[in-house]
Amino acid sequence: MNGRWVGVDFGTTNSAVAFADAAGLPHLAQFPSAQGPRTTCPSVLYFESRKPTVGGSTAIEHYLAAETKGRFIQSLKAYLADRSFEGTGIGAQYYSLEKLIAIIGKHIGDQLGLASWPSPRRIILGRPVHFSNPPDQETDTFATERLLAAMRLAGFDEIVFEYEPVAAAYAYEARLQRDERILIGDFGGGTSDFTIISVGPGVRQRGRRAADIIGTDGVPIAGDAFDKRIIRNLVAPRLGMGGEYLSPPSKFLPVPSWPYERLERWHYLSFLKSPATLEMLERIRRTASTPERLESFLLLIRNELGYQLHEAVQRTKFELSSATEAEFAFESGPVTIRKKVTRADFEKWIAEELASMSECVDRLVRASGLGFGDIDRVFLTGGSSFVPAVRQIFVDRFGDHKVTGGEELTSVATGLALRAREQWPADRDPAGMP
């Protein structure tokens, strides 16, 4: 760590941390993993009987290595706006949502040496523009207060929120030689957020004003929703969903869909590994129209191959970002699924999500009182910004020459650290130098 100013991007899928030094240069934190240092930390936890709770890459490694699986938890950020989800029991203990998120925050701090962080432990913390769809101010406030409480439990003393797309604008601004009015699109695992903001050297020199942020909007739809569509349309049918089975004496019924919904969150697959569920699926398999597909589903559950399945989904989505056709290939243990998929198929599956994103962008531009031609540049960041259909939303409205990107997985954290330097200028070096 080399810097007094800290930005924390707590994400649905991955988190990142950046530090800014006295010269104003941001540095991304490095997190350990079995594959070597990485600039992001998976936002996950793993609880195993009679063993310490672990998070990040270590949680995934422990889960995959365990013969008897413990409790794997991910996507906690997605539940912040859900008033019906207060917490969960794990073993004999009850954990509130805030406590679970705090454990992730503390894990991040421990890996980076929280005790040696600048004192007081003050951070700029990223947050989505909206936590719900349609947007609701009361829900946004509720979710923000839960996130604030969680990070205080994690050991941070002073926390200031910043919209994630505004933070991305700070990162983009560092490359500018002139002022621009830009639209930022930040696509995470759970939310897509948009901001129109004025940035540049002239803005920094005169001092930022509230009016520089011209408008913000967002929807709780992003990469996780795309993954679910691939599971639902490509994977689940090849494991028996949509088929029929004979219910004695002579009635054909559809194979229940609810077990396949567990595939959409890979760690939920382990919940199906109960004697009652396995017996039900085995009974259905015996008289199913496609018994071999039900057999593959049973093997997937028994061998707990959910993580490997979702890795295959991620690979397919990535390949379709650069090619118009890909082969979904899943081979793990006794289960093999191979299926050609085109980019056109994928875009048809995610059409509803794309429409929601498009409507949000149009709503933001209208509310800002601007036309598409009034935007100098569009900066896209986050993993789903690689999806061609997502980029096309902006090309159609602003023109290809205006759309750019970069540091897609870490620009928000970098921008948060730069924002922290502006928030606490008195923290500059002991000699008072800027």
Token digits of residue 294: 């039900």
Cα–Cα–Cα angle for 188, 191, 194, rounded to 5 degrees: 90
Q: Whole-angstrom Cα distance, residue 253 to residue 370?
A: 55
Q: Is 153 exposed, middle or buried (0-12, 13-18, 19+ CB in 10 A)?
A: middle
Confidence (pLDDT) at 366 = 97
Q: Whole-angstrom Cα distance, residue 155 to residue 123?
A: 11
Q: Are 354 and 238 in contact (CB under 8 A)?
A: no
Give the residue ranges of DSSP H helices in 269-387: 275-286, 291-302, 306-322, 343-349, 351-367
Confidence (pLDDT) at 188 = 87
Confidence (pLDDT) at 3 = 66
DSSP 401: G
Q: Whole-angstrom Cα distance, residue 140 to residue 144?
A: 6
CA-closest candidate to residue 287, choices 258, 259, 261, 249: 249
Other beta carbons within 10 Å of 284:
23
Token digits of residue 356: 């929601």
The full set of domain ranges for the chain reads 240-348
Confidence (pLDDT) at 432 = 38
CA-closest candidate to residue 243, choices 200, 292, 195, 280: 292
Confidence (pLDDT) at 372 = 97
**pTM value surpassing 0.95:** no
Confidence (pLDDT) at 431 = 39
Confidence (pLDDT) at 115 = 58
Token digits of residue 146: 């839960």
Q: In a 3-state reduction of DSSP, which class is residue 215?
A: strand
Q: In a 3-state reduction of DSSP, which class is residue 265?
A: coil
Confidence (pLDDT) at 433 = 38
Q: Are 69 and 46 in contact (CB under 8 A)?
A: no
pLDDT digits (tens, 9 = 90+) for 335-378: 899 999 999 999 999 999 999 999 999 999 999 999 999 999 99
Q: Which residues of the chain have pLDDT under 70?
A: 1-3, 114-119, 427-434
Q: Is the bond preceding residue 120 a cis peptide, omega within 30 degrees?
A: yes
